[in-house]
Homo-oligomer: A and B are copies of this chain.
């Protein structure tokens, strides 16, 4: 596909659409929009121009112009992505949704919140809670990430075991299509068998099939009580074996089941500068449970504690108040930061495998780490098989790092694929994993994805270099 460059005439046209103050050309200011949270320089690229529409009409006009002029458009939320999905690798326009940041409606009769894409996830959570409801989406980046970005990547997070990922709470989306048309998919109906499920085709499509301008979020009753358990285990296999038992023997689906491996435990200990209990254990599991009544909560965490101890848990630490819960969560929450301190350049992966494959895959990752003399601490979501294997550059020179990283990722993906797993559980493919996507996806499915992309975006205007290589 041959794209054109932004001309001064087109900048004027953009200014006419969104206003002078919502068009950025200054190279220094463009810098902010050149990357997301992937730390490596290869995943940064300056846009030619940034536009910040304030509503769906302006968004549609921009996309129509881009189609007419053959300019690639990269939609952007808060830039907290972890797969270079919002990075304008081909230049062109970055379309930032930051000005569409209003909570439009709290619908108390149907239990919906309607928001614009530039509202932060944290604001959605807080507003829902303040109004007497609960929004279940909870990516680790909630404080800063936009709900629009959560939709784009089908964000997961710590609560996905019980509540599922973002997708489950999205019932309607107003979008601008890749050709600049406006439509609302779904809405406030809680079920539908009326044509294809376009809503959930959009969710997770990383801005390649449409730009979300309004989101219909389902609200739940507030889970009023919660408790957090920290359970150390001798090794990862023993730890992971307990996961299905909690659900079937206990009849409980916890909100979170997180894991940290030995390297992570030590790293968190160093970062927090305080000893963690059982810091020589092979695995720490953090389990959070929520309930509407205190008695149900107590019954649930006692059941879980008993199951853990009966299945070789070394001990069970219960956090049943805010302070003790924070203490348990702190190690897990600060892990990314702790690893960043150890190694400012790193590569955080997001593979997902069937839950019972976690120990075998982690063992393989350890083997690979040894083979290439690289540290790969692993943490993540044990309840849903999502492993954030994090390659640390540490003292390697750049050339070695690139060479080693390429080989290590290829081996990790190979093992993931062989285990019935996928490249990404919640971060997405973005630009970062497009090559891997091509290598590790069944060609039949690559063809399906490409066919859908081309059918809905014939000029390949929207985020054309992401998810799949269409060249």
Which residue numbers of A lie inside 8 Å of B, CB to CB?
Answer: 107-111, 132-133, 153-156, 160, 164-165, 167-168, 177, 181-185, 187-198, 200-201, 203-205, 209, 220-224, 244, 247-248, 250-253, 292-293, 295-296, 299, 350, 352-356, 383-386, 420-429, 437, 441-442, 444-445, 448-449, 451-452, 454-456, 467-468
Contacts and interface: CB of A to CB of B under 8 A. Distances in A.
A178 to B, nearest CB: 10
Contacts of A420: 187-189
A350 B193 CA distance: 9
Contact of A194 (B155, B385, B437): B437
Count copies of this chain in the complex: 2
Contacts of A451: 455-456
Nearest to A199: B200
Contact of A352 (B181, B192, B221, B292): B192
A111 B455 CA distance: 36
22 contacts: A132-B248, A154-B191, A156-B191, A160-B190, A164-B168, A168-B168, A177-B444, A183-B442, A189-B353, A192-B204, A196-B201, A196-B209, A196-B449, A197-B200, A197-B205, A221-B248, A223-B251, A293-B299, A451-B455, A452-B452, A452-B456, A455-B455
B252 A448 contact: no
Given A189-B420, A444-B181, A468 B195 contact: yes
Given A293-B296, A296-B299, 16 more contacts: A154-B192, A177-B444, A183-B445, A189-B353, A189-B354, A189-B420, A189-B421, A191-B426, A192-B424, A193-B204, A193-B424, A193-B425, A195-B468, A196-B452, A198-B445, A200-B201
